[in-house]
Amino acid sequence: MKRGLAAVAAAALLLCAPQASATPHRSWVGAWGTSPTTVPASDTTAFEDQTLRQVVHLSVGGGGLRVRLSNEFGTQPLVIGEAHVARRAGTTSSVDPRTDRRLTFGGRASATVPPGAPLLSDPVALSVAADSDLVVSVHLPRRTPATTVHAFPYQDGYAAAGNVTGSADITPTEVLGKWYFLTGVSVTGGRDSTVVAFGDSITDGAETTRGADRRWPDVLARRFQADRDLRHLGVVNSGISGNRLLHDPNPPAGSPAEGYANYFGQAALRRFDRDVLARPGASHVIVLLGVNDLGHPGTSAPESERVSAQDVIDGHRRLIARAHAHGLLVHGGTITPFKDDTFGFYSPENEAARQTVNRWIRTSGEYDGYVDFDRAVRDPAEPDRLLAGYDSGDHLHPNDAGMAALAAAVPLRLFR
């Protein structure tokens, strides 16, 4: 009798327990991403009854996807009238109509995003490949100030009149030089995980060929795809041109920097949770930060914000602690050379600080691993300069060949 009662009780527990096998867990990996900023007061861009058709390049493929939009720097609700996603057809604004899918948000085709909030789409059944272009089309029916942007995408987007989100071909009324309201695409995976490239303009892709996807994180993603053991890894670019580790933008009153400094984004210490920890499947982060902390004071930031090498090292330590607290492996990138740069960053004092920070990254053992970006692109005859063949011309930012050298310097053993 007792055995019979036990069997009945066990059956009741099974009926009441969540049936995990009926709805298997779906994992997500970051296939593409960017980091948003606010805009300077001089940027009064707004859209009304227009479709924004924006192109992104996927680092890894999957059988389904979801899109992340953002009103994080908005001061009024962001109204999404309709949104679609499709594979790109060719190199223009056209899409493959066979792959067109309407996005939904909580089952609805439209959505209103409160100020300060992101918006994640429902999953979409669409197979996409690594190293391919995806097009996200969003209709903005009401007048919408463009307050949440990524200012330097090195990729053209398009605006068109009315709601043409589901059209294979559109007639662009404007070529967009920024990414607007769009911050992420994740894909379904099995054991997949995400490597986040966290940095400034060198990670963002400054001075690379527009539309060619030659930023070093793009090249690294292609290295992963060429390796059978690593092709499950997605790469998300969380670089922001002009970004500093320790300080938010703070242009001196009356300086030209008032017209652009807000595009530099919140300090890396401030945005780390959103731009690294919150990325789907984040498992590793590569940090390349510090050159703007050294170079901005006295140029686009007040002299009072000048920092020492120890200040920069302490900032890196804080990133390491936060990454480790969330189970991520974190790898430090050495700061690349910039002698005679056209921005006024270089001084003997800044060079000495760069060398001190780089020595700590290489030898302290506090990072889980390090990437010697400095060694990859410096001139062996003059180590405080970029090698001429890797110089975009401003003596700070690597060109396409320099970006390839940076990606080649990343030890793949860090991810095995």
- In tens, the pLDDT along 327-378 reads 999 999 999 999 999 999 999 999 999 999 999 999 999 999 999 999 999 9
Burial class (CB within 10 angstroms; exposed 0-12, middle 13-18, buried 19+) of 170:
buried
Distance CA 209, CA 120 (A): 30
pTM: 0.92
- Looking at the chain, the whole-number percentage of residues with pLDDT higher than 70 is 93
End-to-end CA distance of the chain: 56
Six-digit token pair at 106?
Answer: 């909580």
HSE-up (13 A, CA, CB side) for residue 153: 26
Neighbours of 376 (CB within 10 A): 22
In single-letter form, the type of residue at position 355 comes to Q
Distance CA 70, CA 67 (A): 10
Determine the angle formed by the axes of helices 348-363 and 309-325, rounding to 10 degrees.
Answer: 30
Q: How confident is the prediction for the chain on average, in pLDDT?
A: 93
Alpha helices in 167-295 (DSSP H): 201-204, 216-225, 268-272, 291-295
Domain boundaries 191-415, corresponding CATH code: 3.40.50.1110
Six-digit token pair at 67?
Answer: 């899109």
Six-digit token pair at 409?
Answer: 């310097």
Q: How far is CA 3 from CA 6, 13, 401, in A?
A: 5, 15, 74
The single residue listed with the structure tokens 């330097």 is 152
- In tens, the pLDDT along 276-308 reads 999 999 999 999 999 999 999 999 999 999 999
For the chain, domain boundaries:
27-183, 191-415
